[in-house]
Structure 1
Amino acid sequence: MVVQLETPSTNQTLRLPYTVEGLIQVFTTSHRNFFTTVMAEALRIAGQGTPVLVVQFLKGGIHQGCSKPVKLGQKLDWIRCDLPRCIDTPHLEDSENESLQELWQHTQKVVSSLKYSLVVLDELSLAINLGLIPEADVLSFLARRPPNIDIILTGPEMPKSILDIADQITEIRCSHRP
């Protein structure tokens, strides 16, 4: 991708000699955990004026859904499934599965629309491992995403196929010292 700028005085297009490639980052751990560092990074980036989307696939409880994102400041949108509970099983009611699939479709659509520069996909590995979102769909989504968008995937037991394409992998480990 080459960035183009119009100069105000001549209306000529300038081509910059570099591209900014987005990264695929993975934050994983052996246990289910909310990644405070990921959220802190998302808030920091949004506070600097960059549009950020946080998607929590398995969290519910607040009847939110795609049409009612929580806005944190002017640049961070946070969405969850429109569910009365958190998902922790592959056995979903039809309405729960519809809500999850709607969120996945919405996420793919807004990423391709270039609305956000950073997209956090929280607990996507669990959705894959529970068989709720096909791994092949996630790999296809990551392959066709606009190249300048950073994607952060979180969750335990991240599939090897995703680890293989990640630009950065952070493994959170619990260490107890006596």
Structure 2
Amino acid sequence: MVAQLETPALQSPCNQPYPVEGLVQVFTCSHRSFFTSVIAQALRIAGQGTPVLVVQFLKGGIGQGHKHPVKLGQNLDWIRCDLPRYIDTPQLDEAETHSLSELWQYTQKVVDEGKYSLVLLDELSLAINFGLIPQDEVLAFLEKRPCYVDIILTGPEMPQALLDVADQITEIRRSHRL
């Protein structure tokens, strides 16, 4: 048996009598890793029929780019930079800088269009800290996004300005048992 969810077209929920505003959530920790609980949340929400976008700014290696998103199920699009490697340094060549910039511009465009209700921006803090994406642009992006869009920001060393605008902050720490 095959089940298929039918997703209604998004209309701006901000015009409802009791609008539900989107949240800015931050998941941060001292080490660089992809947070299993965050992707599980994205998959669960997409499985319930909500359009979700996962953007990995510093991951590459699979020849993807925003023009070739991976579709996980009917409602989750997953995109990465079109790079042959993952970014672990602020020193990028011209092609890498262009690919990252193109991904950031695309992300802003599709969020402005209201295509997704949840957008997960993985390792955005590192992209900002490396000087690859301007923090002021991120703050402006968060401010002008459609009112119903939830944004999840992940990465180590999250800038204080982003923490200040977050509705929820989750700090993940390793627990060491003796």
SS of residue matched to 2:114: coil
TM-score, length-scaled by structure 1: 0.92
Decide whether the 8 Å contact of 2:13 with 2:148 is kept in 1.
no
SS of residue matched to 1:46: helix
In structure 2, the gaps of 5 or more residues are 1-10
1:85 counterpart = 2:111: no
Partner in structure 2 of residue 57 of structure 1: 57
TM-score, length-scaled by structure 2: 0.92
1:163 counterpart = 2:163: yes
Spell out the pairing of 1:39-78 with structure 2 (5 A cutoff). Answer: 39-78=39-78
Matched-pair identity in %: 72
Partner in structure 1 of residue 103 of structure 2: 103
Decide whether the 8 Å contact of 1:53 with 1:119 is kept in 2.
yes
Relative distance call for 1:177 and 1:145 in structure 2 (3 A) is same
Measured against aligned partners, the alpha-carbon deviations of 1:101-150 in whole angstroms (never above 9, x if no partner) come to 00000000000000000000000000000000011111111111111100
User: Paired residues, what number?
Assistant: 168
Decide whether the 8 Å contact of 1:2 with 1:18 is kept in 2.
no
Decide whether the 8 Å contact of 1:62 with 1:84 is kept in 2.
yes
Measured against aligned partners, the alpha-carbon deviations of 1:44-87 in whole angstroms (never above 9, x if no partner) come to 00000000000000000001001000000000000000000000
Partner Cα separation in structure 2 for residue 112 and residue 80 of structure 1: 19
Please tell me the residue identity of whatever aligns with 1:122. Answer: D
Relative distance call for 1:91 and 1:74 in structure 2 (3 A) is same
Measured against aligned partners, the alpha-carbon deviations of 1:132-174 in whole angstroms (never above 9, x if no partner) come to 0011111111111111100000000000000001000000001
Decide whether the 8 Å contact of 2:29 with 2:157 is kept in 1.
yes
Note the C-alpha offset of 1:32: 0.4
SS of residue matched to 1:126: helix
Flag as ranges the 4+ runs of structure 1 deviating above 3 A: 1-4
Spell out the pairing of 1:143-158 with structure 2 (5 A cutoff). Answer: 143-158=143-158
Partner Cα separation in structure 2 for residue 67 and residue 119 of structure 1: 17
In structure 1, the gaps of 5 or more residues are 5-14
Decide whether the 8 Å contact of 2:125 with 2:155 is kept in 1.
yes
Partner in structure 2 of residue 126 of structure 1: 126
Partner in structure 2 of residue 137 of structure 1: 137
Note the C-alpha offset of 1:3: 4.2
Note the C-alpha offset of 1:16: 3.9
